[in-house]
Structure 1
C-alpha cells in the first residue's frame, strides 16, 4: 500500500480475526462488558433524555435495535443515544488517551443488530477499530488534549467507521472512502469537559462512524489520501505539527497494540486523570484514619496534560466535579470513596466538601510517561496535618483496574451489576453479564437485549 489511508483500509477489509491473540480478544470482551454496564447506569441521566428528543424512534422494525432508553431507533440513532449514555457518567473504560469502548461498542451493537451479525463479528469489529485508532495515534508525537481536541471524538470517528465497514464487509476501496468520509466528521473540544456536551461527543462519534460506512457502501466518495494529505486528517489535528506521514511508519497489522495498551477499567466515575491520586488518597485516609479537621493541606503532583483536563478547581455540580482533582481528593478524604453517590450536585455542594476544596494544592510536571495515555510517569500524593505531621504515599504509576493491574472477573461483574441494576432487576443483570462475557458465542446479536 502506498498511503496511510489505503493501508488502513486494506487492513480493515482483509482482517482475519482468527489470528487475533487471546489477550487482544480479552481486551475487546471486557470493553463490551464494561461499556454496556455503564451505558445502562447512564440511561436515565438528563443528558441522555435530552439527546433522545432529537432521535426519531422506529417502532416495529426488526432492524432497529432497542436503545437503553427503551426506544427502538435506526442503527445510527441507536448508537447516538447509547453513546451518550455510555459516556455521560464518565465511568467508561479508557485507553489510547481516550475512551475507545464508549464509541465502538454502541456503534458495533447497533450496526450488528441491523445486519444480524454474530458476537464473533462484533469482537472483530472492535479490534479493527481499536487497532486503527492506536496505530494512527502512533504517528503523532504530541497529545491531542494539548491542542484542545478530545481524542475520543477525533480518533474515535475513524475507529467507528472502520468497525462499521468491517461489519458490512466493505472492500478496500469502499473502506478507504468510509475512512475519508469519517475524517471530515471528526470533532470534539476539551473545553466542553464537565458539561453535557462531553457525552455528546461519544454519541455523535458512534453515529458518524455508522453513517460514514453506510455512505461509502452506497457509492459516496471521499479523498483517498484524506488521512495523510498535507491538508488531511493527521496534519489538521496534529498538536505537534509534525506527524509521521510515511506509510512505512504506519505499522498496522504488524503489531497488536491492543495487547500492549488494552483497556483500563475505571473504578471511579471521574476523569481518569484523577484515578491514581484517588487510589493514593483513599489509602492514606484509611491507613492513618485521617479526620478532615486535622488536615491542613492535601498535596497532589500530577502531569501537565492531566491538569489541563481537570479544569474545574471549584466545582459546584456533579458534572463539573468529574473534572476536578480538588473534588476527587475531598471526596476520597471525607467519604473514603468516589462513586456515583458522590458525583451528585447535592454531595458536591456540601459545605465540608466545598471547604476542603480550598485545602487541596495541585502542582504539575511536564514529564511524560511516554505511553498511550497523556499522563506523568506517576502521581504523588501527600497530606500535611495541622500539627505538622506529613503522610506520604508511594508514587502511583498504575491505577487499580488498569491494564497493568487488571480486575478479576468477579470484580468486573461487581461493577457491572452495580451499574446495570440501576435499570435492571438483579437476576436480569446477572444473566446479561454472563451473556456478554461469552459474547463470541452469540450467533445473532439481535438476540441480545439490553432492557
Structure 2
C-alpha cells in the first residue's frame, strides 16, 4: 500500500493519506460510466477561452453572495455548530474568521452562498450550480494545495456533469417536488471533486454512486433555512463521495440508471439519451444565468416586466387597479407564496415581488427583503391587487407576463424571458463587479476587495488558492461562542 502526502495549508501540518490497493476494473455501467468517462477526460487545455471567463464570473458571483450570506442566521448557526464540534482546521469558513474541516467548510459556505437566493442558476437542471460546486472545490483545493487551473478544470467537469444528469431527469424530477440544487447538486460536487482528486473513470463512477445514495432536498422547504442547507449538504456530501471513492469505498457504479436507482426513484421521465446531447451553446456553462434581483429566479421575469411597465409608463401605485401575473404552472410550490409572512418568504412570492417592482422598491437590495417591509401596509395593499395565473403555455420558469389595469382604464402589458444568457461577457463582468461592490464591499475593506478581484482575474495562474481563501476569512462573527 503506497502513501500519498497531502499538501499542507498555512499553519496546518501535512498528513499522510493511505492509498487503497489496486482495484478490479468496474463493469460497463452505461449511463453513469459514460458520464464518468467524460468527467475524467477534462483538462485545463480543453476549456475554451470564453468558458474560462465564465468560470471566473461564477467564482466572482459566488464570492459576492457568500460573503454577504455568511452574515445570515443559517450561516451563524452552522458555524457555531462547527465551532462546538471542533475538528482539524483544513479550510476557510467564509466571513467567520476560522478554519474548519473541509467538510464543515463546504457545508457552511454552501449554505451561506444560497442563503440570500442571490446565486447563479442553470435551467438545464433548474438549480444553482456554483452554490454546490465552489464550496466543495474551494475547501478541497485549500486543503490539498490545488492550483487555480486545477480548480477551473474541476469546476468545468462538475458543471457539465451536473447539467447532463439534470437534463436526463428533467422536468419530472423537479416537478415531483425535489430541490435539484440539493439532489442533482450532490452529483455535481462529487464529479467536480473527483476531477480535482484526479480520479479515473472507475473511481468517478463510484463517487457518483456514493453521491446518489445521499442526494436529498425537498421543494416544500422553500422559504425556510432548509433550502440553503440543501446547497451546503450537497456540496459537503458530494465532496465526501469523491474522497471516499479515492480511498476505495464501494458503491454501485450504475447508481443513476440502476433498477431502483436514482433516476427510477426520483422522477417519472428518465431520458438517458438527453445526457450525451450537446446543448445548443456547446457547453452548459455558457447557459449560466446570473441573478440581479435578490429573490427566487422564478420571479425575475415578472420583476423585469413590472419594472419595465412602471418605468415606461410613469406608473404610480395609486394608478394601479389590478395586476395579473401570468407565469409557468411550475411556479406553484416554487415561488408562489401568496401572502409571505417573512422577508425570506417574500423572495418566493410572485405577488410580493411584483408589488415591490411596481412600487419602485429596489429588488436588487437585499435589505428590502426584510420582515418589516414584507408587512408594510402600503406594499401589502398593492400586493392585494396582484393576481397570479399559472398557465401551461407560459413555458419555463424564466418566462412571465405582467398585465396592469389602471384606474383610467388603460391596459399595460409586458412579457419577459430571463432565461437568455448575456451575450457580451464584458458587460456581464461589469454587472457582476457592480453586484460584488454592492453586496460584498461593505463586508470587505477596499484593499481586500480589490485583491479578490485581482486574484480572480488571474485565477489560472495561481499556484494555490490559499491567498484567495484567506481574504474571505473575515473576522469571527458576532453572536458565536468561542
> 1:204 is matched with which residue?
233
**Corresponding position: 1:364 with 2:393:** no
Correspondent of 1:273 among 292, 298, 310 = 298
Which whole-Å CA distance do the structure 2 matches of 1:121 and 1:255 have between them?
27
Which whole-Å CA distance do the structure 2 matches of 1:230 and 1:59 have between them?
40
**Corresponding position: 1:325 with 2:350:** yes
Query: Secondary structure in 1 aligned to 2:103?
Result: helix
174 and 263 in structure 1: CA distance in 2 versus 1, 3 angstrom threshold: same
Q: 1:131 touches 1:256 (CA, 8 Å); kept in 2?
A: no
409 and 253 in structure 1: CA distance in 2 versus 1, 3 angstrom threshold: closer
Q: Report how far residue 78 of structure 1 moved.
A: 0.4
Query: Secondary structure in 2 aligned to 1:364?
Result: strand
Which whole-Å CA distance do the structure 1 matches of 2:87 and 2:112 have between them?
23
Correspondent of 2:459 among 436, 439, 443 = 439
Q: Report how far residue 252 of structure 1 moved.
A: 7.3
Which whole-Å CA distance do the structure 2 matches of 1:365 and 1:265 have between them?
25
> 1:189 is matched with which residue?
218
Query: Secondary structure in 2 aligned to 1:90?
Result: coil
> 1:418 is matched with which residue?
438
Scaled by the length of structure 1, what TM-score is found? 0.92
1:384-423 matches, within 5 Å, as 384-393=405-414, 395-398=415-418, 402-403=421-422, 407-423=427-443
Give the length in aligned residue pairs. 440
Correspondent of 1:381 among 390, 396, 402 = 402
Q: Report how far residue 71 of structure 1 moved.
A: 1.8
Q: Report how far residue 140 of structure 1 moved.
A: 2.8
Question: What is the CA deviation profile of residues 298-331 of structure 1, one whole-angstrom value per residue up to 9, with x for unaligned ones?
Answer: 2211111124311311012110001000111111
> 1:300 is matched with which residue?
325
Q: 2:31 touches 2:256 (CA, 8 Å); kept in 1?
A: yes
290-299 or 40-49: bigger deviation: 290-299
435 and 199 in structure 1: CA distance in 2 versus 1, 3 angstrom threshold: same
Q: Report how far residue 216 of structure 1 moved.
A: 1.1
Which whole-Å CA distance do the structure 1 matches of 2:248 and 2:366 have between them?
45
CA RMSD of aligned residues (A): 2.3
> 2:185 is matched with which residue?
156
Which whole-Å CA distance do the structure 1 matches of 2:451 and 2:302 have between them?
34
**Corresponding position: 1:35 with 2:65:** no
What stretches of structure 1 of length at least 5 have no aligned partner? none
Question: What is the CA deviation profile of residues 362-386 of structure 1, one whole-angstrom value per residue up to 9, with x for unaligned ones?
Answer: 11221364xxxx426x321121112
Correspondent of 1:171 among 184, 200, 203 = 200
What stretches of structure 2 of length at least 5 have no aligned partner? 1-27, 475-482
Q: 1:32 touches 1:101 (CA, 8 Å); kept in 2?
A: yes
Question: What is the CA deviation profile of residues 256-291 of structure 1, one whole-angstrom value per residue up to 9, with x for unaligned ones?
Answer: 753575211101010001111111111211222222
Q: Report how far residue 22 of structure 1 moved.
A: 2.0
Which whole-Å CA distance do the structure 1 matches of 2:385 and 2:459 have between them?
47
